[in-house]
Structure 1
């Protein structure tokens, strides 16, 4: 092990709140005192689950801003008896979590902290946002209601002054935030579930939910059936091995991209509007490859 690696690991221990003592005669480091952490009546299974999730999801290369969870896991494991700690790490090392397609949020750590602080104090923010809807950088006052991590990145849900409604904003597209001397109240009865309604992912559209029916070919039917894609989904395997997929969704754009991911192995049966939308995008894609 290199000297640089040793000092990096020592710094990691200090960041986790572990006090270290250096013995000049032995030229070695040791814990100055046991870490004062009350772990209660955690079972080995519970402790293993916490340490495994926190350590792996706390790696900045995977899920940004979860570093604190990784530090908490080190404190937890450091407070356990050696035998229990060794058992815990042996099992935890046998589990791997691999998030995919994580958004690059370099330089956004400060913005995340400002969002949390504004939400804690119930303070309005001035936000500069590179909008893909307006195709320009917009400036709006934001009342942050909820921070949400979904699939690839962090989002903030809150009321926007220029849109005059609750919107979803992607953290990666926020260019600047300023906490204002203006307080706000959370709307009575607000919840993320109510806001999202039956959105396919994170953006509800329109006032009326739509019933979607898709036929998946036998080649991908099992793959689709193995996953709960949406809380309202209903599946029906057909005698020919294909799968009928039904769901009630608030908006069609998000689900259209999912359908296109299955290429010619998926066919929209209804509604007609979604069938037309997917068909047009598939035709445009075909034109690109016909050049």
Structure 2
């Protein structure tokens, strides 16, 4: 067990008011008595009123004045915190600065050896952030605050490939980060239904005086799942689809906006989905054919046959064109 894990364990052993000898602590933690006394010094330096009393009735205890447990993190926990900040920053998380400030407070409470180990463990991972306009962070903050306050916003929104922006009023219910982009989900007053809006396409945003009530237990991620579910062509029956292939090809299949919701199992070599027959027959043959020889359809055989027939028709069409 790492040093800081042992120190925390010793702290919890003593916190209930018990008095233990150094030998008892050393035995339970499987460390030396000398190490126990080193930990006592370290805890004392951290502000914990731990004392070692000598004599027949002596032992190690914590003074009754001690109320709060200081934060101790092991090396991997500290690494996870720093790496999480890197990912948040790369995703354009709107409170990355506040997260960095909180992380600095944690680092300020670390010992020198912890800081050194943290530096070693975290210098091998970087997250390359995509180029985003600075307005995205501002819009994310404004949208989240509007959702929390139940305040309708007016946005100037530019759809993909559109030459002009259009204005609409939206009740923002929540935000979601999906496939490298931020989305706002909310009720659009113009279309009179719930819609999704890519935040980087919002060119202007301002609050209005109107208010709204968010649907009970609304979840932006749940909305995305529901939309994918509605894209299915039927409710059943369901069939298992198993696909083998190269890692990159499997990643692409498993990350597909629709298929990812039906992924049931994934290994390094294959992926399994549970999908209804009509949707499988209508959409998958054409999609899977785009991967060429990078994937293999193991089951069901009906899907494999559909892809083979589609490939044959394409080959025959190309031969007719060449003639």
TM-score range, shorter chain: 0.5 to 0.7
Which among 197, 202, 227 is matched to residue 174 of structure 1? 202
1:244 deviates by: 7.1
Q: Where is the helix percentage greater, Structure 1 or Structure 2?
A: 2
Aligned twin of 2:102: 72
Secondary structure, in 3 states, of the residue corresponding to 1:73?
Answer: helix
Which among 117, 134, 141 is matched to residue 169 of structure 2? 141
Aligned twin of 1:26: none
Residue segments in structure 1 that go unaligned for 5+ positions in a row? 1-37
1:151 deviates by: 2.4
TM-score relative to the length of structure 1: 0.59
Which among 188, 204, 212 is matched to residue 216 of structure 2? 188
1:256 deviates by: 9.5
Aligned equivalents of 1:155 and 1:146: distance in 2? 9
Aligned twin of 2:31: none
C-alpha distance after superposition, 1:157-204 (max 9, x if no partner)? 11111222221111111111110111111112322343223656xx96
Which among 93, 105, 111 is matched to residue 81 of structure 1? 111
Secondary structure, in 3 states, of the residue corresponding to 1:180?
Answer: strand
Aligned equivalents of 1:48 and 1:259: distance in 2? 39
1:144 deviates by: 1.0
Aligned twin of 1:9: none
**Are 1:220 and 2:249 counterparts?**
no
1:209 deviates by: 5.6
Aligned twin of 2:274: 247
**Change in CA separation of 1:110 and 1:204 when aligned onto 2, cut-off 3 Å:** farther
Contact 1:128/1:140 (8 A) holds in 2? yes
Q: Which has the larger radius of gyration?
A: 2
Give the paired residue count: 230
Secondary structure, in 3 states, of the residue corresponding to 1:197?
Answer: helix
**Are 1:122 and 2:150 counterparts?**
yes
Secondary structure, in 3 states, of the residue corresponding to 2:145?
Answer: helix
**Are 1:262 and 2:307 counterparts?**
no
